[in-house]
Structure 1
Amino acid sequence: MITALPAAALLVAALLIAPGPPRHRLGLSPRSPRRPPALAFAAPLLAAALVSPALPPAIALLGATAWARRRAARRRRDAEAEARALADALEMMVAELRVGAHPVHALALAAEETGGPAGAALSAVTAAARLGGAVPAALAAAADRSALPGHWHRLAVAWRLAGEHGLAIAEVLAAAHRDVQERRRYADEVAAGLAGARATTAILAGLPGLGLLLGHALGADPLAFLTGPGGGCLLLGTGFLTAGLLWAGRITDRLTRP
């Protein structure tokens, strides 16, 4: 293992400083958004394989879990932003309708003033309404491209009920606005209540690392065991750790969805 570590470090260095294609070095290709090259991920795995066959799958499990949690956090932020934008758009539409504006004009104004996915969805609904299409159908179609499909489906049902039963569209949309606001408030309260559970999850996830440090402090060499005859224990422990993180994240994400 002592000779494997320097060899692994040299392999990582050699792979990372390898020159790229000539056209990139000469600046002949247009600049595009930079993405992490596959080599940057493959190099640590190859180096880890020189130390222990159990390390690459363990690293892959941890990396996949980190990617999944980061993606879930991004979806949660997108959903919160869309809910906030939709609530603002509904408030604007209600204000326009109550002063006598036509529903299509209120839709168009809300679409112009609202950004992000909610604004794009309202623009599509406005275009469909101006072409003579059914607004409820356009609102239901917007749910397919939304991080909050339930909000758009409920809005489509509300609009259809207003048309079928002759209800004042301003009052129906005001009720839809209150529904969105209450769901946002409830999601915020649940998220605040789950802060302790999330902190506990993070602490429990760090306990294996603390155990390794305590083992070293007591004079043992847990890393040598885990990268040697205890490779199966390393994989099993990593599997339990990542499964617990993903399961806890799934529970909290479902509870805090706006």
Structure 2
Amino acid sequence: MTPAFLAAALTLLTCTLALPPPAAALHRLQTHTGKRPNLTRSPLRIRLTRAVLLAPPTALATAILGPQALVSIFAITAVLILIANQRAQHQHQKSTAARRTNIIEALDVLAADLSAGRPPIAALEGAASISPDLEVAHAAAKLGADVPTALIRASTKPGATSLRALAAAWRVTEESGAAFAALTERLANSLRADEAIHRQTESSLAGARSTARILAILPAFGIALGYALGAHPLTFLTATPPGWLCLAAGLALTTAGLHWTTRLSRPEAPHV
């Protein structure tokens, strides 16, 4: 087994395992464009297909650049992808929390307007000015469409699951004539209590997440310490077959550790 072949195999395997499968948004886009996605394909089959497609360009790049340059490019790309993934998860958590807060504020406005005697359509307009997730429901109410269905569709966004409870309250009001203002006020109070618990949980998990990030960057200090002692760790990692194995194993373990810590420290969204 030549060094070039081993470098190509390691690069191909890591790229195949690191890149995520197509997201659900891509399936919806293909559906709208007239292409029916094959939802029966398993993630393993998708990754095997990707490996077959990546094999020729990986072999060509290894032949042109050489194994050391290709492994170096691969390592830098893997680290950048890992950093971008962590930042994307952080931004996703922030946007989800902001959406939950906006919906609670919108429900407060909706309950206040309903208690003041405004009709539900006019009250929804004021609530939609606070939370954009209620704009579709307001448009459905103005057109005489099914408002609960519009709310349920809007609840599929991260952080908007509480709109399912609002849809249920709207439907109960239509069918039984219950006071929609009282139901909305109770729903807002319940969501506010759940959000307080959610924030306490997030604060308690912040230390574990910070520790995981610190542990993930410790290998960089190890490399710097190696150079301080007169060694050449990067040359070993990028120019020798044992170094390639160590580099691939280190990146894989770091990625798995961060993913595992994120899964363990992810609090459950509040349910109503």
TM-score over 0.5 for the alignment?
A: yes
Correspondence for 2:246 among 203, 226, 233: 233
Q: How does 1:99-114 map to 2 (within 5 A)?
A: 99-111=116-128, 113-114=129-130
Amino acid in structure 2 at the alignment position of 1:221: H
Separation in structure 2 between the aligned mates of residue 148 and residue 80 of structure 1, nearest angstrom: 7
- Match for residue 170 of structure 1? 181
Q: Which gives a bigger RCO, structure 1 or 2 (Cα 8 Å, sep 6+)?
A: 1
SS of equivalent residue, structure 2 residue 239: coil
| 2:171 counterpart of 1:154 | no
- Match for residue 251 of structure 1? 264
Task: After superposition, give the CA deviation of every residue in 1:166-190 in whole Å (9 maximum; x if it has no partner).
Answer: 3211111112112221222122111
Structure 1 spans left out of the alignment, 5+ residues: 1-44
How many Å apart are 1:158 and its aligned residue? 2.2
RMSD: 2.4
- Match for residue 94 of structure 1? 111
Separation in structure 1 between the aligned mates of residue 81 and residue 234 of structure 2, nearest angstrom: 22
Task: After superposition, give the CA deviation of every residue in 1:163-212 in whole Å (9 maximum; x if it has no partner).
Answer: 33332111111121122212221221111101110121022112212222
Task: After superposition, give the CA deviation of every residue in 1:102-123 in whole Å (9 maximum; x if it has no partner).
Answer: 1111111222x31xxx32x322
Amino acid in structure 1 at the alignment position of 2:213: A
Q: How does 1:216-227 map to 2 (within 5 A)?
A: 216-227=227-238
Task: After superposition, give the CA deviation of every residue in 1:3-28 in whole Å (9 maximum; x if it has no partner).
Answer: xxxxxxxxxxxxxxxxxxxxxxxxxx
| 2:140 counterpart of 1:128 | yes
Q: How does 1:38-57 map to 2 (within 5 A)?
A: 51-57=68-74
SS of equivalent residue, structure 2 residue 145: coil
Separation in structure 1 between the aligned mates of residue 102 and residue 256 of structure 2, nearest angstrom: 34
User: Would the aligned equivalents of 1:187 and 1:257 in 2 still touch at CA under 8 Å?
Assistant: yes
Q: How does 1:7-22 map to 2 (within 5 A)?
A: none
Fraction of identical pairs, as percent: 33
Separation in structure 2 between the aligned mates of residue 59 and residue 183 of structure 1, nearest angstrom: 41
How many Å apart are 1:143 and its aligned residue? 1.9
Structure 2 spans left out of the alignment, 5+ residues: 1-60
SS of equivalent residue, structure 1 residue 255: coil
Deviates more, 1:192-201 or 1:51-60: 51-60
User: Would the aligned equivalents of 1:191 and 1:256 in 2 still touch at CA under 8 Å?
Assistant: no
How many Å apart are 1:251 and its aligned residue? 3.2
Separation in structure 1 between the aligned mates of residue 261 and residue 205 of structure 2, nearest angstrom: 11
Q: How many residues align?
A: 207
Separation in structure 2 between the aligned mates of residue 184 and residue 249 of structure 1, nearest angstrom: 20
